[in-house]
Amino acid sequence: MTKRSPTKYLPLAVLMLMALLIAACGGAASPTATPVPPATTVTPETVDLWSQIQKDGVIRVGVSADYPPFEFYDSDFQLDGFDIALMKAIGQELGVKVEFNDFAFEGLGSAIQLGQADIAISAISVTPERQQQMDFSDTYYIGSDAVLVNSSSDFSTIDTAEELSPLRIGVQSGTVYQNYLQTNLVDAGVLPEENLHVYTDVSQAVRDLRRGLIDAVMLDRQPAETFQSEGGVKIDGEGLNPQNYAIALPLRQTVLRRAINQALDTLDNDGVIKDLAKQYLNLDPEDIIPIPTPTPEPTAVPNAPTATPLPPVTTCVDGMAWVADLTFDDKNMTSPPVIPPGQPFTKSWRVRNSGTCTWDSNYTLAYDHGNVAAAQMGGQPVAVRGTVAPGQTYDFSVNLTAPTAPGVYQGFWQMRNPAGTPFGETIWVGIRVPAPPQPTAAPTQTPVPNISFTVNSTNINQGQCVTFQWSVTNVQAVYFYADGQNWQNNGVAGQGSSTQCPTQTTTYYLRVVQ
């Protein structure tokens, strides 16, 4: 993804392109007028999209990077996952660069309709409802569902949908599982509607499951295994609603679909898809559900039109595109700005209404998810002020507070329409909170030697005895000796005395070593 410059992948190498960004600006959110008349309908593209992709040498791919292990941001804040790796391999087969952009999952179909993405891949299940809005490639993976429960729960294994009826169930919005639970349980009167909890991000549902706020979460098997490995939850049922995953593309783009299907077929025959399933999904070849034989593509007719014009869509379509970071640019997470712990700051973005609906105060920008729980940084939803017509730009500003714990934080934000449905590109704020400075140790004062050396008489007769006394502190060694003796052989304690009876004039020494 990138909210800044798209992430492009060459067939044989990775090339990261950075866009020139606007350096600063702030203040309250306000629309920037652009002389584009508002539109109320969408007329689908009639050109051959595959020819355009070949001409540009780039295929633009929409993803929703909040669904590990299919798509996610790794520890270096780069896109990774089964779908990401598969799409890179498809790009190599097609001989084009792959450009990823991160969208709200619910907005992937709109992104294709609006031309913000050529295709989309994000563990997208093929359903009759979706087939009315977009076309699909051949199935590349058959996924099994799973039901997560709290690790401390004592539920019996869930084998049927009806066994979910007494539970509070969490599900991600816009997924086939939301539709499955709504249709088979809520609409059927089996599950009270208030017991179906819909989340924009499945990780939020799992978080509430760990806290005991809900009883179960329904999702794909592989993400369920990932959450189970992190602790606090366990898989208690599966296989209620298997899904066929395919790549979404615009309706009636037959040539593009054929090219993608040919690439998928080659990758399948070469074992690449199985290798990726092992790498990302931890599935051995014998554990992968066999993919049904694809329906043969119709034979191309020479000089036949490659795309049939579609009737205009009579309802408006929501869309949003990132334009620039106005404050605290993190350089695509390569250099997050440093903000001291607990310091308030304001993050601002410029976005464009790329859809055909006019935004008003019922449209908001809201926090969706982050790399850690504290990535929200206290940010609250911000409503649009005034109206923003299609094609106009708008500046959003969100008041945030840096977390107190040191680390790198990345919080993802999405727009929501009046129905609360997320749409458009996902934008983010990234910062680094430094560790508190280590206190400077006070300099150690060098001890001052304390020396006392006395004798009870200095003028004596030959053979008369005298007593030497000494008390020495803050030194390493003490030596007492007579003139002419080897001092190194005459070490003594720091406190002591010695009686001497010299037969001639003699000088005695007390030597100390610091």
User: What are the tens digits of pLDDT across the range 137-167?
Assistant: 999 999 889 999 999 998 888 898 889 999 9
Q: Sorting pLDDT into bands at 50, 70 and 90, what band is 105? A: very high
Per mean pLDDT, which range of 177-191, 257-271, 326-340, 493-507 is the poorest?
A: 493-507
Instruction: Report, as an integer, the average pLDDT of 403-411.
Output: 97
What is the reported pLDDT for 383?
98
User: pTM to 2 decimals?
Assistant: 0.71
**What burial class does residue 458 get, using C-beta atoms within 10 Å of its C-beta: 0-12 exposed, 13-18 middle, 19+ buried?**
exposed
Bridge partners of residue 142, in order along the sequence: 244
Superfamily of domain 145-238: Periplasmic binding protein-like II (3.40.190.10)
Q: Which pLDDT belongs to residue 295?
A: 62
CATH 2.60.40.10 location in the chain:
320-433
* pLDDT of the residue at 439: 76
Burial 128-138 (b: 16+ CB within 10 A, else e): eebeeebbbbb
Q: Is the dihedral of CA 268, 272, 172, 190 positive or negative?
A: positive
- What is the C-alpha separation between 381 and 372, in angstroms, rounded? 19
pLDDT for the residue 495: 86
Residues 176, 174: Cα–Cα separation, whole Å: 7
Domain span(s) for CATH 3.40.190.10 in the chain: 44-140+244-287, 145-238
In DSSP terms, 143 is beta-bridged to 243
| pLDDT of 300 higher than 60 | no
Residue type, 200: T
Class of domain 320-433: mainly beta
Q: What is the band of 296 on the pLDDT scale with cuts at 50, 70, 90?
A: low
Phi, psi of 150 (to 5 degrees): -65, 140
What does the block give as tokens for 289? 């559900």
pLDDT at 45 over 50: no
Assess contact for 449 and 473: CB atoms under 8 A: yes
Helix (H/G/I), strand (E/B), else coil: 414: strand
What digits encode the pLDDT tens for the residues 116-127?
Answer: 999 999 999 999
Q: Peptide bond preceding 390: is omega within 30 degrees of 0, i.e. cis? A: no
Q: Kindly indicate whether the domain formed by 44-140+244-287 is annotated with CATH number 3.90.1200.10.
A: no
